[in-house]
Structure 1
Amino acid sequence: MKEAKHPKESLVVNTDQVMINDLNNYNTLFGGVLMKKLDNNATLSARRHARVKECVTASTDSIDFLYPIQQSDSVCVESYVSYVGNKSMEIFCKVIAEDMMTGERRMAATAFLTFVALDENKKPVKVPEIIPETEEEKFLYESGKERAERRRIRRKHSKTLTEIIGLEKPWNLGGEAS
């Protein structure tokens, strides 16, 4: 068993400016651009915690867009391991937008992603436990078991759904299959 770690040991902080090509038609940061930043940050947190070459995204539980990010803002993504299972890690991400003119900071988004650490044969490996210290870390850790259970239920539902939904090409429905 690997030695337990503190969430701050997996902390990754990345700050960027918002570029014009990152904007959507509302002149705010495009959600897909932010999702990529979240996945990149969370991957590094997972790898830092597990100390493995590869970690794969198992799920993106939620991304809550709380406040739009403007072009005049910087966007700071902070991520760390908030809860662990046997072979999976929940990564909590928070996104802080800062108005570069006024210095006003606001919580723009939060997200939970789940990663699995892989060995050199691409097999899942056990990950270290965590020891939360701050009020935020303790809150996330204590509520982590409930989120993990919701993920298990959702994954089971998704597997059932894949048995029901079809793989036919939409343009062939009602006609001959090719």
Structure 2
Amino acid sequence: MGNTVPMSFSRTHQTRLILPSQTNHHKSIFGGQVLWYIDEIAALAAMKHSQGEVVTASIDSVDFVSSAFAGDVLELESIVTCTGRTSMEVYVRVVCRDVKTGTERLTTESFVTMVAIDESGKPREIPGIYPETDRERRLFETGPMRREYRKMKRELSH
């Protein structure tokens, strides 16, 4: 593709209500449920950026910072933070909002790698990105370091 687009082009938001059926015996949301939400919103951001289909290559990191409980509202945000020729790193931030007070707390942060694919399932080229805000700039500038770490991890496991 060869062109570049602002990181904000991929920004995606979702709001979820935690239902009792999504919680464990501690009444906190199952970690697997949060991972499902993370994978879904990362895919949506990657699809927006690549303007097509994507597959999850890896969930690179997940930091569960605090719990969320039945009746809490989760707000998820994702954005493409680093691009290769066919792959994208997507940052996902999950906060829990108390709807009565408006206060929020970070529950989860994650980086996910997605690959753009064509109709036959083969990787296809995607545009590059550029940051527009200080927060985006920090994520963008640290992307190559995370990418190098992922590459090193893959080499060590083979």
Q: Deviations over 1:86-135 (max 9, x none)?
A: 21100000001001232211111110000000111211111111010111
Q: Contact between 1:22 and 1:29, CA under 8 Å: does it hold in 2?
A: yes
Return the structure number with greater relative CO, CA threshold 8 A, min gap 6: 2
Unaligned runs of 5+ in 1: 161-178
Alpha-carbon distance in 1 for matches of 2:119, 2:80? 22
Alpha-carbon distance in 2 for matches of 1:50, 1:127? 5
- Say which SS state the counterpart of residue 46 (structure 1) adopts: helix
After superposition, residues 128-139 of structure 1 pair within 5 angstroms as 128-139=127-138
Q: Contact between 1:58 and 1:115, CA under 8 Å: does it hold in 2?
A: yes
Alpha-carbon distance in 2 for matches of 1:37, 1:75? 10
Tell me how many residue pairs correspond in the alignment: 158
* Aligned-residue RMSD, C-alpha: 1.0
Q: Deviations over 1:10-46 (max 9, x none)?
A: 1110101110011112211110000000000010110
For 2:7, give the aligned amino acid: P
- Say which SS state the counterpart of residue 4 (structure 2) adopts: coil
Between Structure 1 and Structure 2, the one with more strand by share is: 2
Aligned to 1:25: 25
TM-score norm. by structure 1 comes to 0.85
- Say which SS state the counterpart of residue 69 (structure 1) adopts: coil
Aligned to 2:64: 65
Aligned to 1:104: 103
Please list every run of at least 4 consecutive aligned residues from structure 1 whose deviation after the TM superposition is greater than 3 angstroms.
none
Shift of 1:72: 3.0
Q: Contact between 2:58 and 2:113, CA under 8 Å: does it hold in 1?
A: yes
Shift of 1:157: 2.4
Q: Contact between 2:11 and 2:45, CA under 8 Å: does it hold in 1?
A: yes
For 1:138, give the aligned amino acid: R
Alpha-carbon distance in 2 for matches of 1:23, 1:100? 19
After superposition, residues 110-121 of structure 1 pair within 5 angstroms as 110-121=109-120
For 2:106, give the aligned amino acid: M
After superposition, residues 87-98 of structure 1 pair within 5 angstroms as 87-98=86-97
Q: Contact between 1:72 and 1:99, CA under 8 Å: does it hold in 2?
A: no
Is 1:50 the equivalent of 2:43?
Answer: no
